Amino acid sequence: MPNKQLAMVIDSSRCIDCKACMAACITANAVPVGCNRNWVKDAEPDLAKGAFRGHFQPGGCMHCDNPTCVAACPTGATFKSPEDGAVVIDRGLCIGCGNCIPACPYGARFRNPAIRKADKCDYCAARREQGLSPACVDTCPTKARVFGDLSDPDSEAARLLAENKGRLVRLVAAATDTKPNMYYLGVTEPRNWPVEPAPPTAMAAMTGLVDPLVKTAVALSGLGVLAMLGRQLFTKPTPPHDGHGHAPGDQTPGSGDADRPDNRS
Amino acid sequence: MRRIKRHDRSDILIHWFNAACWLALLVTGVGLVANPQLNPAGDAYPGAVRSLFGGGPALLAVHIGLGIVWMAGIVLYVAVNFRGAVFFLKEIFSVSPARDVMWMVKKMALMTVGAKPLVKAGLTPDLPDQGYYNMGQKAFAQASVLGGVVIVATGVVMSLSDMVIPASMVWMVGWSVTLHYLAVGLVFAGLLVHVYMAAISRDERPGFVSMFTGHVPEDYARHHHKLWLDGLTGDSGGHK
Amino acid sequence: MSPLAEVKTTRRGLFKAAAMAAVGAAGSGLLGGLAPARADAKGPAAPPFESKFSVCDMCFNRCGMIARVQNGVVVKLDPNPKFTKSRGMLCARGNAGVAQVYDPDRLRYPLLRDGGRGEGKWKRISWDEALDIAAEKMRQVREKYTPSGQLFTAGADMQSEFVSRFAEVFGSFNVTSHESLCLLSLNRAFLDTFGEAPYADVINSKYVVMAGANRFEALVTPDSIDLMDAMQRGCKLVVLDPRHTKTAALANEWHAIRPGTDLAFMLAVAHVIIAEKLYDPAFITEKTFGFDELAAHVAKYPPAFAEAQCGIPAADVARIARELAAAAPASMVYPGRRSSDYVNSSQIRRGYAIVNALLGNWDKPGGLLAARQVGLTPVPADPPWYDDNQEDRLDAEMSPMLFEHDGSFVHTRDAVLSGEPYPVKGWFIFKTNPMQTAPNRKKTIKMMEAMDFVTVVDITMSDTAWYADLVLPAPSALERTDPCAGLQGSSACACVVKRDPVVGAMYESRPLFEIVKGLAARLDLAEHFAFTIPEYRAKQLAKLEGAEAILDRDGVYYNPGQVYGVYEGRIFKTKSHKIELYNQRYAELGLDPLPVYTPPSTVAEGSFRLVIGRNALVTQTSTQNNALLGRFVPDNSLWIHPDPAAKLGIRDGERVVVESKAGKGELAAQVTRKIRPDTVYMLSGFGTLSGGLSRIKGKGASIAEILEDAADALCGNAAMHETLVTVKRKVA
Amino acid sequence: MKRQFVAVCAVAALVLTSVSMSFALGEGNARKGKFLYRKNCRSCHGASASDLSPMSKTQAEWKATFEKTDAIACHDKWPADMTPEDVNDIFTYLHDFAKDSPTPAKCS
């Protein structure tokens, strides 16, 4: 478990869908056109049926405790920070394989076309280094987004969490609880949008098929070598420079086989 | 005893160059795989290698750099010794099912379980004559060449992923990771046997030595590579 | 090579250079390279940024902010947490201020028209030449048509006061502001009821009726944020809007009122409050004038009347009236902001004011608040007197209750076109875009054509600039030294802000102040601009000791003062010195002293009333070319209800042609139940004419083109919702 | 502006008769009045210690003040060349933009 756990506590009932969080994020993180690190979802009422009350739900990477994106990354470029519990990407290690993108139930990841690598919310790591809060949190007009360290009971996020025990909502896919570190207070809509993580076939093939195959092959080969080595160690050595290609087995005492120096191997 | 020239200098050089690259690429490459579901060398290995190289990105850069060196070396070899390369490829991919496959089966049995099971199965423990390469060597060479092609191709795709690969072709990068891993894994499995046979097995010691000297004793050649020896004309030796 | 081509080539070349030196549009890779230290191992860590205070200029709210500057480039704008008017926030547009500074379409140097008006042929000239020409043209206009022959129009900007100052010393009475295309009806109504235009203490309110306002989209600080806070604490919000806005979506109650009938609703509410004696009699007696007349007047407007007019059930109207009264005085009919809707908008908003008066919420928590003095000292000019001048403003006789300082753009335009009462032949425009914001664009084009010489100062080639003779590039707000401005944020604060440059002025741009100073020097008026902006600020702050230092420290200076009960022992600034339910001056002028309900024009079968508006990502046309905001709102569309759409064979996303008597436009249909079947809606800020706005060119339809011109009968404010349109599927 | 002023003051003009002036108050040129006020009055009543602006008084108060110009404290300091027309223009300005006027002078 990390020393700290950064998290976002969101009161989506405060959200007015002004998209300031998205604009702030784009600017702070140079998010290219067509991509977003965060979002506001709109639970549109069915006006045809007379409903009119809508609900807006801000979101972004949920920095899960059980991140399926991390599991999908072959190089460990995506990892859960041991310092603060954020799920981050080491761009220098990311090889742009794209495996992590469909592995996220929240669609929080995208391939940044400018760098051709995976990208997503990092809680504005660069801003935090300079003592600022994440851009979306800082700019939010209605302060719907609250950010902080849950392990610090004095942080606003931890306080909100403690105050709202029993009315916290974590959005998870039906069959996969990634244990997100994004908490919604009370009622939030929409709720059924997270999808089951679906790492691409390449990754599934790698972990499910290729990896066992490789490991079995190496293991068998290793065993074979051990067997040969064993045979060699427990038989009398062949003179090193006699040039005779004696198979080790040939010299195994008690093997019952005739010594055939002219055996052409 | 007559010594027969088996390898010229570029062959020896490329072999050891290849070996060194393989070792270095393997050490760095395995360090680049960091996923609890994979971690072929244990969970601690990637962290250890990464810190040794000054971090993951540095390790990746070194790995890519080594890969480029490796490819460049091979290209250089082919350029310098094109005929040798062609000979090598021709040799390793010419497989006679009756002689070579039988050799392989018998040899594997003899090396591990001994001759008895062979006899029980109604086979003589005699090994069929082999050419410049025996089938074991051929098999490993084939794996190395084919695996090498896959490794290079997928490596290039992965290295270029953040430079030229468009969004629509990201799947290629994902599959490259998988195939790179597969190819390395399989060649590595063969490599274990190759290293054992060449460096540890007493039987192949002259072959091992020839990878430094370029020559093998005639009787060794006769025993191990009779068809090659028979095909040689004159004293000049060599395989060309 | 034609001059146009030459200019274009140069522009492109310059853009490249600028993009290298600075930042391309937001979101480009370049911005990435300059963004604050990123977890990108491939580049060296970016240096920490400098932080500088500024004031947002992306709309009229003027939110305090902190610019983060790295290597001389603004990389991020953050809210100033000490700025209570905005409750320490910065909206999407504020964030997009960076993209405004680095808009590749920024004007770079003075351009002189070199072809037909609006043809888009320009010649690059030097600043000296530009100012010489502009001054000479003004001199000619003054000589030929008197000083009032020159019209001045300025948008909401912290330097706009220098346009007024220049007009005054030049001797022209003809100054129009953006306000007559926006909120004058509202100001008129509340001024003529309470003696001043109030602030709404939304944060302390327990019940808010919001009609003709969309506070969760058309953000007003602090009201928008305060409304959410109030609602979180149980304040009830009732929204009357023909559109299902985001405000409606978050409201406790939404009624899709028939457009233009709000007064019927307000009169019925007044009816119920009076009939059921739900008011505070002491307050009524002590503070109001004309209660009995009002009671008699609203007797004619029972809830059933409102039901028939508005389409809101009478029981709901009565219930809302009772709930409002029960929550009084911490309840309100939200006054609104843009009220340029109908020819009787002043009277409609009088209805709002009267209900508020009956609620007794004046000067009380949760009610309407008086303006607070911020304490800035005005720095008036000493203009010369020109004997050879006109009697009055051009539009003076065209509205009985005109605002002297704002005038009426719609009336002024008509007067320019008719040449009556006198010719106006010169026009100086600063950072406002009547070509795109005033109804009936064809008339605005004709107005341009009627002019001898038009000078436009702006940061990009607006449609208005496109039709000008001389276009002068101004720096964006982040590149300027601006005078102090006093702001009030409801009960949150009364404060002073200023601007100092965050980065240097880009290209050859010059601030408006330098431009009018240059013109003044050429017109022998230099003495009236013989100061620098810091000197001017010092005069403004003369009575606020230490304010300048506090401004430098916090980015804002607060003047603490009484918020509630300021009217204790004071008169209301009306003729009766009380809250005028019955307006005596109206009576004297032969106007309705009590608002008489007039139904809006009938929307015939097959036609629609066109309503307009904006959202939180658009400030009319001033943000139209912004690359960041364009990512969210790339285009406008026509909201149309599925029932009429089906009849017209229009499917969602199809192109439609919207046509009125004034003009037509083509845009995509958005078939949605978020709008009444008799109404269509479109967003402002699209359908440009200018060839200098590459991001927006050819996108959507223009409200200015389609809206017919009508004006508020009292104050001449434009009436934007009087237009009926037909909608047809575009035949490919 | 003129029209509204005429209307507003019509009744007053009938009732009131000027004592200190030879003509009825009002109907002057407010614009000229503003100029004259700035030229003649602001040196004392300007944006300094004793601020005075149209907003300082109600219309009735301005009227009352200007009905007895002799009684105005600073009357003796008025420039000699100030004509009754000038005074009326100044009054019109102050009156038209008084704090309870329909168009109060703008302030920050």
How many domains does one find in chain B?
1
The answer to whether D and C touch (≥3 CB pairs < 8 Å) is yes
Report the CATH number at residue B28. 1.20.950.20
Q: Which domain holds residue D84?
A: 2-96
Mean pLDDT of chain B: 86
Query: Could you tell me if C373 lies within 8 Å of chain D, comparing CB atoms?
Result: yes
In a domain, C651, yes or no: yes
For residues A183 and A212, membership in a common domain is answered with: no
Task: Find all residues with CB under 8 Å of A91, minimum gap 6, and list them.
Answer: A77, A115, A117, B57, C38, C39, C40, C41, C42
Q: Are residues A83 and A102 in the same domain?
A: yes
| pLDDT for position A255 | 35
Q: C41 touching A, CB under 8 A?
A: yes
Burial class (CB in 10 A: 0-12, 13-18, 19+), C313: middle
Q: Is some CB atom of chain D closer than 8 A to the CB atom of C403?
A: yes
A256 is a domain residue:
yes
**Which residue on chain C is closest to B61 by alpha carbon?**
C42
**Do the Cβ atoms of A121 and A92 come closer than 8 Å?**
no
Q: Which residue among C191, C382, C577 places its CB closest to the CB of D38?
A: C382
Q: Which residues from chain A sit within 8 angstroms of residue C626, using beta carbons?
A: none
Contacting residues of D for C574, CB less than 8 Å apart: 100
Strand partners, C724: C609
User: Closest Cα partner for A40 from A11, A7, A16?
Assistant: A16
pLDDT of residue C9: 35
Specify if B238 maps to a domain. no
* In contact, C35 and C46? CB cutoff 8 Å: yes
pLDDT in tens, C620-663: 888 999 999 999 999 999 999 999 999 999 999 999 999 999 99
pLDDT recorded at residue C40: 39
Mean pLDDT (whole number) for C78-96: 96
Instruction: Read off the pLDDT band of D73 (50, 70, 90).
Output: confident
Residue C170 pLDDT > 90: yes
Residue pLDDT, tens place only, C530-542: 999 999 999 999 9
Question: What is the number of domains present in chain A?
Answer: 3
Question: Looking at per-residue confidence, does A241 or C663 come out higher?
Answer: C663
C373 to D107: CB separation less than 8 angstroms, yes or no: yes
The C-side interface with B (CB below 8 A) comprises 41-42
Q: How many domains does chain D have?
A: 1
Answer whether C92 sits within 8 Å of A20, measured CB to CB.
Answer: yes
Query: Average pLDDT, whole number, for chain C?
Result: 92
> pLDDT by residue (tens digit) across C472-504?
999 999 999 999 999 999 999 999 999 999 999
- Which of B203, B212, B224, B230 to substitute to test the interface with A, most A CBs within 10 Å? B203
| Domain presence at residue C461 | no
Q: A1 lies in a domain? A: no
The span from the CA of A158 to the CA of C264, in Å, is 50
Q: What is the pLDDT of residues C36-71, one digit of tens each?
A: 333 333 344 566 899 999 999 999 999 999 999 999
Alpha carbon of B87: minimum distance to chain A alpha carbons (Å): 22
pLDDT at C106 over 90: yes
Asked if residue D56 belongs to a domain, the reply is yes
Which range marks the domain in which residue A76 is found?
6-199
Q: Which residue of D has its CA nearest to C584?
A: D8
Residues C576-629: tens digit of each pLDDT: 999 999 999 999 999 999 999 999 999 999 999 999 999 999 998 889 999 999
CA distance C373 to chain D (A): 7
Q: Which residues of C628-643 are buried (b: 16+ CB within 10 A; e: fewer)?
A: bbbbbbeebbbbbbbe
**Would residue D103 count as lying in a domain?**
no
Q: Decide: C696 and C627 in contact? Cβ < 8 Å.
A: no
C348 and C492 assigned to the same domain: no
Residue B97: pLDDT band with limits 50, 70, 90: confident
Both A25 and A60 in one domain: the answer is: yes
Residue D11 reports pLDDT greater than 50: no
pLDDT at A244 over 60: no
pLDDT, tens digit, 9 for 90 and up, residues A124-139: 999 999 999 999 999 9
Closest CA–CA distance from residue C365 to any residue of chain A (Å): 21
C-alpha distances out from residue A7 to A90, A91, A121, C510, C631, Å: 20, 22, 12, 46, 28
CATH of the domain at C491: 2.20.25.90
**Do the chains contact at C246 and A56, CB–CB below 8 Å?**
yes
- Residue A198 Cα, gap to closest chain C Cα (Å): 27
Residue A36 has pLDDT above 50, yes or no: yes
Structural domain that includes position B152: 3-231
Q: Which string of DSSP letters, residue by residue, matches C158-182?
A: TTHHHHHHHHHHHT---EEEGGGGT
Q: What is the CATH number of the domain that holds D15?
A: 1.10.760
Please check whether residue C382 touches D, CB under 8 A. Answer: yes
Quick one: C633 and C576 in the same domain?
no
CA C523, CA B76: separation in Å to the nearest integer? 80
Closest CA to C196 of C580, C491, C716: C580
Least confident of B206-220, C97-111, C687-701: B206-220
The pLDDT of residue B133 is: 82
Using a CB-CB cut-off of 8 Å, the residues of chain A touching B188 are 214, 218
Please state the rounded mean pLDDT for residues B108-114. Answer: 78
Q: Give residue-wise pLDDT tens across range B18-27.
A: 999 999 999 9
Domain hosting residue C344, numbered range:
199-369+566-588
Q: Please tell me which residue, B123 or C443, carries the higher pLDDT value.
A: C443
Where does the pLDDT of residue C169 fall: very low under 50, low under 70, confident under 90, or very high at 90 and above? very high
Q: How confident is the model at residue A227 (pLDDT cuts 50, 70, 90)?
A: confident
A116 neighbors A91 (Cβ within 8 angstroms):
no
For residue B130, list chain A residues with Cβ-Cβ distance below 8 A: 264-265
Q: Do A249 and B175 touch (CB under 8 A)?
A: no
Q: What is the DSSP letter of C362?
A: B
Chain-centre distance for alpha carbon C13: 35
- pLDDT tier, D77 (very low <50, low <70, confident <90, very high otherwise): confident
Question: Within an 8 Å CB–CB cutoff, is residue D43 touching chain C?
Answer: no
- Partners of D107 on chain C (C-beta within 8 Å) are 373, 378
Find the farthest-apart pair of alpha carbons in chain C and give their distance in angstroms, rounded.
Answer: 79
Residue D53 lies in a domain: yes
Higher-confidence residue of C74 and B9: namely C74
Please check whether residue D103 touches C, CB under 8 A: yes
How do C150-154 and C175-177 pair as beta strands?
A: parallel
Domain assignment of residue A133, yes or no: yes
- Mutation target for A interface from C63, C90, C102, C103: give the one with most A CBs within 10 A: C90
In a domain, B236, yes or no: no
Are A126 and A229 found together in one domain?
no
pTM of the model: 0.89
Decide if D106 is inside a domain: no
| Paired sense of beta strands C199-200 and C368-369, if any | antiparallel
